[in-house]
Amino acid sequence: MSGANSWLARQRKSDLVELAQTVGLKDFDDLRKSDLELRLDEFIAEHSTQFQSDPKFSSYFSSRARTAGSPVKREAPELKVSRRRTIKAVEEPTADEDEPTQASRAVTTIARTPARALSLASRIPLPATPAEMASAVDRGTVAVRERVTSLYQESGITEATQATRESLSTVSAILLSVATFELYYLRPELLPDRYAFTIPALKLLGTPEYPVLVPDAFALLTSAFWKPALTWLLTSLLLPSLFGYFFNLSAAHAHSSSGRGRPARVSQPEYAVDPLLFSVTKALATYVVYAQGVTLWGWIDPTAVARINSALYSGWKGALVGTAVTGLASVYDAVLKK
């Protein structure tokens, strides 16, 4: 409840603003209604001699007189007793009555100035209302959301995500992903892991000893590495690329006429290696070599074929699934570009 004049409390804020402009109050634009009431109450009280004769402020001074008069009447009996006790204490001072006399004087002083007591009480900050607390929480939430959004935009994550998506949204990226998947399973067979060192246990973190294994680079100097490696390169990369380059269906649609009566001009094909023919050739080579055991006139070692079959995910069947994926991606890409 506001401690300002009751007449001021009944006024609307627009009326209070007009009244503040009339009396010459300054710096009140940002004040809330309750704070404006207090400022006006203090200002008019300090300049009472100037506004007391003005009829506009008659209701204000009447309300102020009623507010100031009521406490005095309620405390009147106690004032008389306190004064008598004070006079008696002055005439007959004793050690036992000294402390009650000081309390009586304090009560008398406060009772004589009820308006000042009300003014002091009105300056005590009141607890925030639920609406003000909800408004503060909303402002804090908006500030945090704006800061997080700003940090996200400044980090460059959006640009990096867009660039990565554009790089991976191609048939070539899908072909590379399938080849990388096969090499991931083929690497432990061609370059087996060897013990390098041990990370000691950390009691502070509660972690045990961890042995570190690294690929054996000395296997690159042996035929046990090169025979299966060259076999996989021949069936999964060289032959499919050769057939995809010469049997390039995308090059058949790269002709553009320069005008009537002029010879057709050949432009660069969209793909140097046709991805669809690449996938078809790889599927045929995988089935013939790894499933049927064809050695291509003794060029391919059956032992190397067996090692590749055991290393690949699901063997030659998994490789055929990879070619089906890349073939479908090639067809879908061609349909989208029509």
Give 238-266 as a DSSP string.
IHHHHHHHHS-GGGGG-EEE-STTS-EEE
Residues 67 and 32 in one domain: yes
Residue 28 in any domain: the answer is yes
Residues 261 and 183 in one domain: yes
The secondary element (H helix, E strand) that includes residue 34 is: helix 33-46
Q: How many CB atoms lie within 10 A of CB 75?
A: 17
Residue 302 in any domain: the answer is yes
Per-residue pLDDT, 132: 80
Residues 6+ positions from 256 with CB-CB distance below 8 Å: 264, 265, 267
Where are any strands of DSSP class E within the chain?
Answer: 193-199, 210-215, 255-257, 264-266
Check if the beta carbon of residue 319 is closer than 8 Å to that of residue 290.
Answer: yes
Burial class (CB within 10 angstroms; exposed 0-12, middle 13-18, buried 19+) of 312: buried
Backbone angles phi, psi at 213, to 5 degrees: -110, 140
Residues 97 and 204 in one domain: no
- What tens digit of pLDDT does each residue of 36-66 get? 888 888 888 888 777 877 777 888 788 877 7
Residue 165 in any domain: the answer is no
Tell me the torsion sign for CA atoms 193, 197, 199, 200. Answer: positive
Residues 176 and 323 in one domain: yes
Q: Which residues pair with 213 in a beta bridge?
A: 195
Q: Is the pLDDT of residue 126 over 90?
A: no
> Closest by alpha carbon to 116, among 67, 50, 83?
67
Residue for token pair 């089935």: 287
Residues 6+ positions from 278 with CB-CB distance below 8 Å: 175, 240, 241, 243, 244, 326, 330
Q: Is the pLDDT of residue 99 over 60?
A: no
Give dist(CA 117, CA 337) in Å, integer.
86
Name all contacts of 244-247 with Cβ < 8 Å and 24+ positions apart: 244/271, 244/273, 244/274, 244/275, 244/276, 244/277, 244/278, 244/281, 245/272, 245/273, 245/274, 247/274, 247/277
Residues 179 and 59 in one domain: no
Residues 155 and 178 in one domain: no
- What tens digit of pLDDT does each residue of 233-266 get? 999 999 999 999 998 877 666 554 444 545 555 5
Residues 83 and 152 in one domain: no
* Cα pseudo-dihedral 266, 268, 272, 275, rounded to 10: -80
Residues 59 and 140 in one domain: no
- What tens digit of pLDDT does each residue of 260-291 get? 545 555 556 678 899 999 999 999 999 999 99
Q: Is the pLDDT of residue 69 over 50?
A: yes
- Structural domain harbouring 137: 131-160
Residues 178 and 315 in one domain: yes
Confidence of residue 144 (pLDDT cuts 50, 70, 90): very high
Residue 95 in any domain: the answer is yes
Give dist(CA 143, CA 49) in Å, integer.
49
Residues 121 and 149 in one domain: no
For residues 67-93, average pLDDT: 46
The domain tally of the chain equals: 3
Q: Is the pLDDT of residue 306 over 50?
A: yes
Give dist(CA 319, CA 313) in Å, integer.
8
Q: Is the pLDDT of residue 13 over 60?
A: yes
Last-in-domain residue among 118, 141, 160: 160
Task: State the chain's mean pLDDT as an integer.
Answer: 79
For residues 97-115, average pLDDT: 49
Residue 210 in any domain: the answer is yes
Residue 248 in any domain: the answer is yes
Residue 99 in any domain: the answer is yes
Residues 137 and 117 in one domain: no
Give dist(CA 152, CA 48) in Å, integer.
60
Residues 46 and 183 in one domain: no
Q: How many CB atoms lie within 10 A of CB 71?
A: 16
Residue 1 in any domain: the answer is no
Q: Which residues pair with 266 in a beta bridge?
A: 255
For residues 136-144, average pLDDT: 89
Confidence of residue 197 (pLDDT cuts 50, 70, 90): very high
- Confidence (pTM): 0.54
Give dist(CA 300, CA 214) in Å, integer.
29
